[in-house]
Amino acid sequence: MKSPRALTFACVKTKGDLGSHEPGLDVQFLEQLAQWDRSMAEVVQAAGCACGGRLDRADYPRKPRFGSVMPEPAPAWSRRLSLCCATEGCRRRVTPPSVRFLGRRVYAEVVVLVACVRALAAAEVASERADAGVPGRTVKRWLSWWRTVFVASALWQELRSRLLPPLDESRLPASLIERASAPSPLLRVSRWLSPLTARSPPKGASILEAAM
């Protein structure tokens, strides 16, 4: 199994200066994430509301932060895709899963993953800097979330039953990224995590089934 340090150099290698970005995390990668979100929103919209009504677009603004990890995204990143039932008396909001945003965190999901992997690698080699432009206390809070809230979630219970042999929970999210297949482990892990970002599950097939 790769160490966090090896993973960092393989997937999210630091280029050194704060103004540079991670290899592979470029405009094309950002568009891949945005396209996945659009595709999933179309799937959820086509399924309709639980009441049988039509779902209309009702996006809301977001201002994600990217630290030193990625370039500034396209304007589309300023909107979180969301839907609302058109039926009077229902008006239920349905928020499709996303690979761009991890809940209400102000940092983009991929920044959370990269910053946590760097922190694990830095701890292994006693390095002092691995923050991806994110405050150290924020990264510590994220790492605590992986080891407490995330491992207790229903999503993790299902994921770990599918990802055998068992992953090392103390090294999340690094151990999860290591298990993801090429060419884009970060994109695949973001897809695995996408059910956490949906306010309401869509009708029909499991989101996790599509994400896998």
Digitized pLDDT (tens) for each residue of the chain, 212 residues in all? 344 334 333 444 433 322 334 556 777 888 889 999 999 999 999 999 989 999 999 999 998 888 877 777 777 788 999 999 999 999 999 999 999 999 889 999 999 999 999 899 887 654 445 557 888 889 999 999 999 999 999 899 989 888 889 999 999 999 999 998 767 888 999 999 998 888 655 444 455 555 55
DSSP string, 77-143: GGEE--EEE-STTT--EE----SSB-TT-SBBHHHHHHHHHHHHHHHHTT-S---TTS-HHHHHHHH
| Tokens describing residue 18 | 């704060």
The pLDDT assigned to 204 comes to: 43
Listed by start position, the domains of the chain span 4-211
The pLDDT assigned to 54 comes to: 95
Say if residue 165 is preceded by a cis peptide, omega within 30 of 0: yes
| Tokens describing residue 89 | 């008396």
The pLDDT assigned to 210 comes to: 52
The residues with which 205 forms a beta bridge, in sequence order, are none
The pLDDT assigned to 27 comes to: 79
The pLDDT assigned to 75 comes to: 79
- State pLDDT tens for residues 46-86: 999 989 999 999 999 998 888 877 777 777 788 999 999 99
DSSP string, 154-194: HHHHHHHHHS-SPP-GGGTTHHHHHHSPSS-HHHHHHHHHG
pTM: 0.80
- State pLDDT tens for residues 29-42: 888 899 999 999 99
